[in-house]
A and B are shown apart, each in its own frame.
Chain A
């Protein structure tokens, strides 16, 4: 408990170039975030490929609230509260499944896949005034789907999804347009990791360009050399930039280096044959035209943070689910490209599982650091986390994007600036 009011805490704890570590440890702040960020704003819930057929459903959370994403018999994707309106039981226990109705285990209230009440046992017990139409499963007030990405908002009013996504939407486009059919598929499933750390560290890390050569030295040094091999990829002469895209969205922009290196810094998924690459290039060109396909492939993917819970990192779609102030679940999905040669998607899948999840060679080092951070955030002698790197050298583009060097903390400043504005309502 703190004697400082919750509103006063944000201006005291979140400064322009540093934050107080209590933002990662204060349970009252966590509860306040659940309301102001996760229940008022737009949150990524899932992808429409995960509910490809009518009756398919997956269970998710928006903040701490249990949600079912379901494709109804009419083909429409809906977000329902995973809660029986009768006595409050969770309707679906599985992470995914398929069926033609939802039935509560407790008293067998049964609902259509659109959430409407279909039947209850012994309905005469409710008398003649009984209005079954009023007893549907609750729907998430707003749902919006952008290129297959399903977002939900528990608030009836607020900015629409396009306004929320702002300049980040073009990078969803970039990931999806790399698929010859213009669609990604998440049905390869997710790697799931539970970390004892606050969710905000996980989001910040998506576009942290300072840590890779150091924390991930085991990957950078995987030339089997004895010592560290820290290239210039993220150094002072790097072409990589950090970008504050506004509204809390951030980018570690690899576009300029991708154009030079032709893509990945390292490839753990195994080599892709020239034949498969040619076929991929050609199928992509059939939809986009030769010139646009070539430009897209040259630009490649970058790391994108979409506030508050989504990361796009080359082949990886990362979802952040807060559990409590010091516990978070991370989901890593390989985004497979619909219409691409099998070899390309194989390489994406293998790169994903060899990098991320609880047994990869990249993710576990990040997870370790979140837990060490969380432990050190209990320190009171010095409570400050410094975010001033590159403050003196960042620039602003015409559209308002703030641009820093590869290892600058421009992206964290962008996140915290938006965070403070959401939490204080200013």
Chain B
């Protein structure tokens, strides 16, 4: 959507929503870059789903493998495993930087807002550097303050290929 030809109050609302959620997606990326794991975990709604499919497009994640398909409990386990330093696959801790570019913000059913982005992530771990890239679909639910994540679906480029270590949060 373009913000250069606003002519109706609803367009202003939409532009504000777009700007706010674009900032929100950036803020989420910053939390991950800064390794603020528990702050990141707190973004998740209780019905949140963190999904990294093995192929683009919709499929039933309960009938076909995905690289990650976490409900809120599994997200908590994942964060616990990383933040407590218990995972050998995560030692020494990785450094990461993300560039996220939001392309679309749209309200969908159920009071949710969907945000589509593209990203490039560079992770350095064990003196090895790896690059991941792809598309992200976020779904947010309004909270009294800010927004909570109900879905983060990360479509990795080459998702059906062979990966080394994907312990990093995407």
* A346 close to B (CB within 8 Å): yes
Residues of chain B lying within 8 A (CB to CB) of residue A219: 81
Q: CB < 8 Å: which of A192, A215, A346, A361 contacts B161?
A: A192
Tally B residues with Cβ within 8 Å of A.
32
Check if A193 sits within 8 Å of B164, measured CB to CB.
Answer: yes
User: Nearest chain B CB to A332's CB is how many angstroms away?
Assistant: 8
- Measured as residues with beta carbon below 8 angstroms from the partner, the interface class of chain A is 35 or more
Interface residues of B (CB under 8 A from A): 52, 54, 62-71, 73-74, 76-78, 80-81, 84, 86-89, 160-167
Given contacts A195-B164, A218-B86, A361-B78, contact A189 B71 (CB under 8 A): no
22 contacts between A and B (CB under 8 A): A191-B54, A191-B65, A193-B162, A194-B162, A194-B164, A218-B81, A226-B84, A333-B65, A353-B66, A353-B68, A354-B74, A357-B67, A357-B166, A358-B167, A359-B166, A359-B167, A361-B78, A364-B165, A364-B166, A365-B88, A367-B89, A368-B88
Check if A353 sits within 8 Å of B162, measured CB to CB.
Answer: no
Q: CB < 8 Å: which of B52, B65, B86, B163 contacts A334?
A: B65
Given contacts A192-B161, A358-B67, A358-B164, contact A365 B89 (CB under 8 A): yes
* A87 close to B (CB within 8 Å): no
* A217 close to B (CB within 8 Å): yes
Given contacts A192-B161, A222-B81, contact A353 B166 (CB under 8 A): no
Interface residues of A (CB under 8 A from B): 95, 188-196, 215, 217-219, 221-222, 224, 226, 268, 270, 329, 333-334, 342, 345-346, 349-350, 352-354, 357-359, 361, 364-365, 367-369
CA distance A190 to B161 in the complex (A): 10
CA distance A195 to B81 in the complex (A): 21
Check if B163 sits within 8 Å of A192, measured CB to CB.
Answer: yes
Residues of chain A lying within 8 A (CB to CB) of residue B64: 188-189, 349
Check if A365 sits within 8 Å of B87, measured CB to CB.
Answer: yes
Residues of chain A lying within 8 A (CB to CB) of residue B165: 358, 364, 367-368
Check if B86 sits within 8 Å of A221, measured CB to CB.
Answer: yes
Across the interface, name the chain A residue whose C-beta is closest to B76: A224
CA distance A354 to B67 in the complex (A): 8
Check if A358 sits within 8 Å of B163, measured CB to CB.
Answer: yes
Given contacts A268-B74, A354-B74, contact A190 B65 (CB under 8 A): yes
Across the interface, name the chain A residue whose C-beta is closest to B167: A364
User: Nearest chain B CB to A142's CB is how many angstroms away?
Assistant: 29
CA distance A226 to B84 in the complex (A): 8
Among A196, A222, A345, find the residue whose CB has the most chain B CB atoms closer than 10 A: A222
Residues of chain B lying within 8 A (CB to CB) of residue A192: 160-163
